[in-house]
Amino acid sequence: MSRPLLKATDIWKSYRIGPSRLEVLRGASLSATEGEFVAIMGASGSGKSTLMHILGALDTPDRGSVAFEGRSLFDMPTRSREKHRNQEVGFVFQFYHLVPELSVFENVLLPRLVGTSVAAWWSSRRAAAREVEDIIARVGLTERARHRPNELSGGERQRAAIARALVMRPRLLLADEPTGNLDKDTGQGILAMLGELNEQGQTIVMVTHDPNVAGRAHRRVHLTDGRVGEP
């Protein structure tokens, strides 16, 4: 059996609310192999988003480990972990998180600018622009590339967010309720796009409360009482 691309082991996470502490994750473990499409199911408030943020190194666990190709994310220096997030992981969120003042093109370009010096950007800007145009075309937004988010439909905003997530050609795509803010038909279109990406080899871990959405994945797991279990 091949080594998992991503492996989370015994993840615990809690938050202090006033004088009390809320335990969200209580020993959650999960793995995903290269090219797999995994859906994490659970009720609202079960900790799905918290787990996804930890898998992508956006948040740190109280204890436990997350390894990417065998390398522990939380043993990395901060700069290395930031580089990992930028280059190896793409994030798609329910509420898009597009920068409202920027066009679709500029939003998709943003990850290419992170950590790039002025000199390096100047020499690579034309190639970067072509790559951004290609990924925008791939999600069907060429005609909307110069529009700002408030000029787009919900489905177009999510496609723009997917383009931004893919522009660095990440090994892992993390999707947090990617259809949760969309109507049924638009959501089906986004799911079809994720399915096509997976067929092309993209590894995807998606969190959702909807069994119909989760049905698109190769494998479904359930987050209950802070732990992950197979159905």
Q: What is the pLDDT of residues 122-167, one digit of tens each?
A: 667 788 889 999 999 989 999 999 999 999 999 999 999 999 999 9
Alpha helix (H) residue ranges in 116-183: 118-138, 154-166
| Confidence bin at 229 (pLDDT 50/70/90) | confident
d(CA 163, CA 130): 13
Name the percent of the chain lying above pLDDT 90: 72
CATH no. for 6-229: 3.40.50.300
pLDDT at 44: 83
Neighbours of 86 (CB within 10 A): 16
Cα(30)–Cα(19) distance, integer angstroms: 31
Q: What tokens were used for 121? A: 């950007």
Please give the mean pLDDT across all residues of the chain: 91
Show Cβ contacts of residue 118 under 8 Å, excluding neighbours closer than 6 positions: none
pLDDT of residue 35: 94
Q: Which residues contact 120 (CB under 8 A, 6 or more apart)?
A: none
* Residue extents of the structural domains in the chain: 6-229
| pLDDT mean over 100-119 | 85
**Greater confidence, 186 or 122?**
186
